[in-house]
């Protein structure tokens, strides 16, 4: 029989090298699928987390409750807009710094000021010193609380005033950091008490002491 007519061997299975190569690609494909699934799952979890966070209620601003000899009023402190100023005020309140002090300067249709004197004339100054002057879009609207200072655009320390009526000429020069949300009639009553007009810049010391019995933070 010539070589041409010699029967060929039948190959029933693919070569061993081909089988190994095929398995290799299958393994790589499986690994790739697992990686893709993991990446997609991570992305979905991140999106769910972002959605969950966006649905959370924003943190509420603290509220200062002023208990005075003429009544109680509440002031929302804009920590979200004036964090340095609010933190300073809240720290002093929590220290009990203002308890027992008087509103030593008042003026009808202008403001009431406190944060320095006790009824016997004794002075008390902040142990933390002056803070950085801070600005924002908070304006001196009716009932606003703002930092008193020696000059415009100078950081104060502990003294504050509350507006009786809007005082927009102060905007940008003094650090307003909150607003009265309850008891504005008490602020008006304090501002309208008889006073000695002793302050050249307006207003003066009331003839009858108006005492801050207690300030607390809600």
Please report, for the domain that includes residue 205, its CATH number. Answer: 2.40.100.10
CA angle 67, 104, 216 (to 5 degrees): 25
Give the pLDDT confidence score for residue 14 in this predicted structure. 54
Q: Are residues 131 and 23 in the same domain?
A: no
**Which range marks the domain in which residue 113 is found?**
63-217
Average pLDDT on 110-134 reads 98
The number of folded domains in the chain is 2
In a domain, 157, yes or no: yes
Q: Are residues 38 and 107 in the same domain?
A: no
Q: How far apart are CA 169 and CA 68, in angstroms?
A: 28
Q: Are residues 29 and 137 in the same domain?
A: no
Buried b / exposed e over 83-108, threshold 16 CB at 10 Å, is eebbebbbebbeeebbeebbbbbbbb
Q: How far apart are CA 46 and CA 66, in angstroms?
A: 44
Q: Are residues 50 and 75 in the same domain?
A: no
In a domain, 134, yes or no: yes
For the chain, counts of helices (H) and of strands (E): 3, 8
Average pLDDT for the chain? 88
Give the pLDDT confidence score for residue 1 in this predicted structure. 46
Q: Are residues 26 and 79 in the same domain?
A: no
Average pLDDT on 103-124 reads 98
Q: How far apart are CA 92 and CA 128, in angstroms?
A: 9
Q: Are residues 127 and 208 in the same domain?
A: yes
DSSP 141: -
Among the three residues 56, 76, 107, which one is the final residue of a domain in this structure?
A: 56
CA angle 18, 19, 20 (to 5 degrees): 90
pLDDT tens profile 2-40: 444 555 555 455 555 556 666 667 777 777 787 678 766
Q: How far apart are CA 84 and CA 66, in angstroms?
A: 21
Give the pLDDT confidence score for residue 32 in this predicted structure. 74
Give the pLDDT confidence score for residue 51 in this predicted structure. 45
Q: Are residues 97 and 162 in the same domain?
A: yes
């Amino acid at each position: 029989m010539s070589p041409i007519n010699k029967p060929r061997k039948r190959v029933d299975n693919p070569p061993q090298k081909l089988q190994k190569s095929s398995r290799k690609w299958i393994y790589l494909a499986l690994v790739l699928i697992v990686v893709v699934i993991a990446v997609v799952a991570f992305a979905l979890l991140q999106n769910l987390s972002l959605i969950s966070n966006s649905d959370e209620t924003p943190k509420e601003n603290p509220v200062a409750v002023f208990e005075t000899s003429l009544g109680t009023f509440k002031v929302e402190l804009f920590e979200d807009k004036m964090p340095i100023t609010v933190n300073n005020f809240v720290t002093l309140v929590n220290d009990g710094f203002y308890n027992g002090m008087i509103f030593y300067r008042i003026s009808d249709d202008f403001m009431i000021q406190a944060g320095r004197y006790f009824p016997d004339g004794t002075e008390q100054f902040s142990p933390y010193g002056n803070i950085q002057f801070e600005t924002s879009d908070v304006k001196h609207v009716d009932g606003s609380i703002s930092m008193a200072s020696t000059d415009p655009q100078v950081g104060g320390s502990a003294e504050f005033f509350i507006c009786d009526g809007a005082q927009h000429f102060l905007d940008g020069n003094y650090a307003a950091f909150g607003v009265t949300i309850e008891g504005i009639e008490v602020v008006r009553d304090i501002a309208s008490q008889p006073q000695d007009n002793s302050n050249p810049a307006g207003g003066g010391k009331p003839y009858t002491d108006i005492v801050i019995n207690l300030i607390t933070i809600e």
